[in-house]
């Protein structure tokens, strides 16, 4: 599905080139189609007739001569933000309540002619950066549904990326509006704290919370910002922030980065850096350590207690209703002392001073939005450690009073999006959005196809490798480039012989079924169906992929060979495996 552009839709409706009703009919068809793929992106949705009635009202206003900045633009709202006509669940059914008023940003969008399609899924109580902590199901990356969508604004990112809405409100306390943008190839704009009202938002960390937006491009984000931004007397943390003009010439980059082992992210970041230099900007290396130390305070310092405070009564009354990982996090705040709280604030003050001085040397900071991405299964198996990795370059931004815009910067071989984030000092939002638009204008990326497979078809395939694809061997990259997951080292059943084939580059063995054979050392990997298919397509004869029996009796796909492979080959069965053979040749 093509993605929707807010500015294009509003211009077309205001000019009479199309109608809001036509936009809504298209959206209704898109919703029906994508409901077959990821219905869990939504928690609740407006009825089709409600959408049509709203569209007719917009068309009537336009016909009467009213210009609406967001005329007929479909949008979604993360379900920790109030919207009349919907329950607010914060991702927890037992917490749900009926909204009696619209959040300020929702009301402003509606007043500007936007059409609210529904409420989106999220990591419960906006606690998480991965999207898998929801009883309503785990939204997944639109390009490869084996992988997390990013969170906590998971549904908002997915519905925008899938072309169901033109923009979606998320929230961003620690990166929840940026990480999902990266994984799904979107713009994710996190305003300066207080630039947008948080009235009507279920708090996560009240002093740090920001409502954010997902759009197809930075220009649409700027349009939404022009509509919903501004001081709100009802919000104690709202700020009247005159924009700070900051021409961008010098871009700060970290002298050292942790990629969590993801060589593809590292490569894409290096390419992005090359492109910035090619655009004529000066790159200045900075020490990221103080910013990283500030980031660590968010979940290992007193701000955990602020998350506890946000839902303290509910935690006490209904602990069993809370996701176990979320509960583990928020319960951690119960033991934070007053002394620890002040100590954390003192440390943060030092990091803030460093950040303030940083802007004397650079105009903006560029970082990877996230160092890597994980499969849903991996995240569920290690929810705290892997989630923490996703926030390495996002957690400090609100603590240090910065604005940020996440933009796309390519795709990994597995189809998942990689992104970079431009970060600026408070109130430099306009400059950041302008620069992000400049980046997008110079850097177009061909999007892979959407992953429209059904849940039941999202199987993985185990693959046995015996020679040049073993870890450390010359062709192992053909597995890592497909994001193959190592399962185990084992041996085949005692019914195989191994031969070193003649004149192959790089050297390769041939595994032949033979009842007089023995167990041969192999490594087992797990690949997605798509990755397995592309891998098999590259296997040259006389090698082939067949079925290999392991010593456990399990049968997996693996390298085998045609009989002609042993012509002129050396029988190395007695060595027990390819590694031993290679070692014997040294």
For residues 88 and 556, give the distance between their C-alpha atoms in angstroms, rounded to a whole number: 47
| Exposed/middle/buried for residue 302 (C-beta within 10 Å: 0-12, 13-18, 19+) | buried
Residue among 313, 494, 298 at smallest CA distance from 399: 298
Contact 225, 189 (CB under 8 A): yes
For residue 145, give every residue at least 6 positions away whose Cβ sits within 8 Å of its Cβ, in sequence order, or none: 37, 38, 451, 453, 458
Residue 137 neighbours by CB distance under 10 Å: 18
80 contact partners, CB below 8 Å, separation of at least 6: 88, 89, 90, 91, 122, 125, 126, 171, 201, 202, 204
Bond before 152 cis per omega within 30 degrees: yes
Number of neighbouring beta carbons within 10 Å of residue 411: 19
| CB contact at 8 A, 508 and 501 | yes
How far, CA to CA in Å, does 169 sit from each of 366, 402, 414?
24, 19, 27
Tell me the C-alpha distance between 196 and 226, whole Å: 10
347 catalytic? Reply is no
Residue 154 bears catalytic tag: no
Q: Say how far apart CA 208 and CA 544 lie, in whole Å.
A: 56
Beta-sheet pairing, 282-286 with 211-215: unpaired
Q: What single DSSP character describes residue 451?
A: -
Q: What 8-state DSSP symbol labels residue 204?
A: S
The set of residues, in sequence order, having a beta carbon less than 8 Å from that of 13 and lying 6+ positions away, is 19, 20, 23, 58, 59, 62, 68, 71, 72, 73, 113
- Of 376, 378, 305, 383, nearest to 340 by C-alpha is 305
Which residue of the set 19, 44, 153, 176 is catalytic? Answer: 176
Selecting among 78, 193, 219, 462, the annotated active-site residue is 78
Query: What order do you get walking across the sheet with 555-561 strand by strand?
Result: 485-491, 521-528, 460-465, 555-561, 543-549
Residues 391, 129 contacting (CB under 8 angstroms): yes
506: preceding bond cis by omega (within 30 degrees) = yes
Spatial separation of the C-alpha atoms in residues 34 and 38, rounded to whole Å: 6
> Pick the catalytic residue: 44, 134, 152, 197?
152
DSSP string, 302-332: THHHHHHHHTHHHHHH-GGGS-HHHHHHHHG
Closest CA to 40 of 175, 167, 145: 145
Chain mean position to CA 175: 10
Instruction: Let me know if 78 is a catalytic residue.
Output: yes
Residues designated catalytic: 78, 152, 176
């Amino acid at each position: 599905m093509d993605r929707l552009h807010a500015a294009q839709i509003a211009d077309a409706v205001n000019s009479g080139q199309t109608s809001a009703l036509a936009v809504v009919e298209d959206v209704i068809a898109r919703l029906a189609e994508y409901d077959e793929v990821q219905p869990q992106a939504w928690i609740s949705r407006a009825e089709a007739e409600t959408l049509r009635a709203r569209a007719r009202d917009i068309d009537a206003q336009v016909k009467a001569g009213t210009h609406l900045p967001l005329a007929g633009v479909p949008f979604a709202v993360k379900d920790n933000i109030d919207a009349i006509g919907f329950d607010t669940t914060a991702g927890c059914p037992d917490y749900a309540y009926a909204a009696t008023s619209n959040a300020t940003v929702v009301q402003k969008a509606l007043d500007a002619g936007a059409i609210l399609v529904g409420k989106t899924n999220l990591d419960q109580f906006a606690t998480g950066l991965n999207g898998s902590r929801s009883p309503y199901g785990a939204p997944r990356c639109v390009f490869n549904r084996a992988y997390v969508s990013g969170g906590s604004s998971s549904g908002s990112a997915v519905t925008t990326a899938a072309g169901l809405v033109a923009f979606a409100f998320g929230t961003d306390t620690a990166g929840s509006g940026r990480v999902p943008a990266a994984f799904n190839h979107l713009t994710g704009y996190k305003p300066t704290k207080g630039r947008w009202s948080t009235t009507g938002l279920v708090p996560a960390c009240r002093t740090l919370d920001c409502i954010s937006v997902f759009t197809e491009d930075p220009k649409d984000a700027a349009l939404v910002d022009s509509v919903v931004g501004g001081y709100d007397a009802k919000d104690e943390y709202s700020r009247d922030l005159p924009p700070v003009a900051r021409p961008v010439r010098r871009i700060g980059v970290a002298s050292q980065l942790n990629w969590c082992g993801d060589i593809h992210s590292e490569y894409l970041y290096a390419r992005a850096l090359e492109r910035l230099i090619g655009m004529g900007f000066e790159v200045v290396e900075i020490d990221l350590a103080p910013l990283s130390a500030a980031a660590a305070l968010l979940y290992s310092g007193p701000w955990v207690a602020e998350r506890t405070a946000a839902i303290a009564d509910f935690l006490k009354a209904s602990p069993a209703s809370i996701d176990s990982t979320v509960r583990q996090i928020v319960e951690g705040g119960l033991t934070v002392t007053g002394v620890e709280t002040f100590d954390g604030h003192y440390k943060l003050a030092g990091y803030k001073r460093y950040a303030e001085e940083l802007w004397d040397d650079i105009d903006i900071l560029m970082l990877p939005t996230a160092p890597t991405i994980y499969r849903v299964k991996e995240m569920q198996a290690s929810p705290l450690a892997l989630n923490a990795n996703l926030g390495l370059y996002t957690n400090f931004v609100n603590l240090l009073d910065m604005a940020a815009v996440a933009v796309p910067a390519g795709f990994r071989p597995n189809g998942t999006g990689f992104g970079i984030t431009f970060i600026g000092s408070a109130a430099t939002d306009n400059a950041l959005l302008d620069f992000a638009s400049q980046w997008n204008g110079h850097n177009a990326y061909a999007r892979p196809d959407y992953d429209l497979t059904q849940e039941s078809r999202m199987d993985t395939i185990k693959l046995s490798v015996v020679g040049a694809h073993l870890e450390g061997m010359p062709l192992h990259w053909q597995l890592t480039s497909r994001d193959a997951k190592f399962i185990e080292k084992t041996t085949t059943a005692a019914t195989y012989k191994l031969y070193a084939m003649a004149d192959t580059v790089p050297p390769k063995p041939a595994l032949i079924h033979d009842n007089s054979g023995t167990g041969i050392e192999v490594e087992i990997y797990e690949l997605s169906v798509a990755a397995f298919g592309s891998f098999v397509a590259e296997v040259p004869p006389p090698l082939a992929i067949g079925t290999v029996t392991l010593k456990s009796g399990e049968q997996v796909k693996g390298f085998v060979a045609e009989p002609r492979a042993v012509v002129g080959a050396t029988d190395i069965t007695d060595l027990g495996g390819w590694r031993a053979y290679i070692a014997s040749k040294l």
